[in-house]
Homo-oligomer: A and B are copies of this chain.
Amino acid sequence: MDKLKAAIEKIMEKDCDMAVISKNENIFYLTGFRPSARAFLILTDEPFLMVTSMDIDEAENSSIDVFEFKKSEDVKEKIGSLSPKAVIFEPSLPIGTFNKLRDSFKFVIEDIIGNLRMIKEKFEIEYIKEALRIAEESFREIEVEGVEAMIAANLEYHMKIKGSMKPAFDTIVASGIRSSNPHAKVSFNKIKTPVVIDWGATWKYYYSDTTRTIVKREVEEEMLDILLDAQREGVKTAKPGVKASYIDKVVRGVISEYGYEDNFIHSTGHGIGLEVHEPPSLSVNEDIKLEKNMIVTIEPGIYIKGKFGMRIEDMVLIKKNPKILNTLPSRI
């Protein structure tokens, strides 16, 4: 209920008297109810949920009022009956749905919940650590051999039987020349080094996200050293009060020193929790300052087109002495 209160304060700060929360992760965060279909949390003096027939039983287990809707018009009507003056909608709301809900009231497009979600409560940190524990334990069970798809299938299988709800994302196993594509799909190629493995588990809707690269040749070893150096420097700076963009600057700086500036083609990391990628972004334009109990990934990578690439990714808890949550060694 504290979270609901904090959300309602945010609404007042924006001079609004209602917010329509449509992002499933945010509805879950505020109410404990996880929609399986389109749903809306209407935040006013007396918040309530609007759900379809599919979700009505589940929603009624939450502590706030629930109404069923069949069509968007039902939601629009219900909102209208409260005569709001100014309504906050979320940036993630599809424009088609927005057009069905908008009315004569003023509106503001703002993600008021995403910012609340950045700082993790104690139980959230535990859930994220549990997801990570499952992911790492599963990695320890498998052999990195054979074809890429088999390694991914094994990892996902072990995560599931250890209690992961689902893979946090499509597990990446990209080896040899394919490692130069940071988002490569698994293939049925037999692996050769380097082997980039990027995987995560889900515990009670909270995610983990980790990458390890298995190297063999000296040139690969050397590149991994650069990434570990960059990551180490990044982790050191991941303290409360530091701008998220500064970590990116530090990590990118180390990689640049070695001449690979143009080969680090993605941001340094991202917040993680109920979404795999959530604020803050550790990237050049992110103004958000880190705060205690945020959890972010730090994942420097170097990709050489047509040759190979690699990445190392750990999850870091922001505090005065930044803590790497991973227990798996960086070098496998």
Give A150-175 as 1s and 0s: 1 = Cβ < 8 Å from B's Cβ atoms: 10111011001101011100100000
Would A54 and B163 count as touching, CB distance under 8 A? no
Contacts of A93 in B (CB 8 A): 94-95
Smallest CB separation, A84 vs chain B (Å)? 17
The answer to whether B170 touches A265, judged by C-beta atoms less than 8 angstroms apart, is no
Question: Does the CB pair A36–B89 fall under 8 Å?
Answer: no
Task: Check if A94 sits within 8 Å of B96, measured CB to CB.
Answer: no
Q: Are A150 and B156 in contact (CB under 8 A)?
A: no
How many copies of this chain sit in the oligomeric assembly?
A: 2
Q: How many residues of A contact B (CB 8 A)?
A: 45
A161 in complex: contacting residue of B98, B150, B170, CB < 8 Å: B150
Contact with B along A167-209 (1 / 0, CB 8 A): 1001000000000011101101000000000000000000000
B166 touches A149 (CB 8 A): no
Q: Is the CB of A183 within 8 A of B54?
A: yes
A81 in contact (CB, < 8 A): no
* Assembled-state Cα–Cα distance A165/B186 (Å): 8
Which residues on B sit within 8 Å (CB–CB) of A37? 183
Q: Are B149 and A181 in contact, CB atoms less than 8 angstroms apart?
A: no
Q: Are A165 and B170 closer than 8 Å at their CB atoms?
A: yes
Can you name 16 extra interface pairs (CB under 8 A) apart from A37-B183, A91-B95?
A: A53-B265, A54-B183, A71-B285, A91-B94, A91-B96, A91-B97, A91-B99, A92-B95, A92-B96, A96-B111, A153-B160, A156-B157, A157-B157, A165-B186, A166-B167, A166-B170
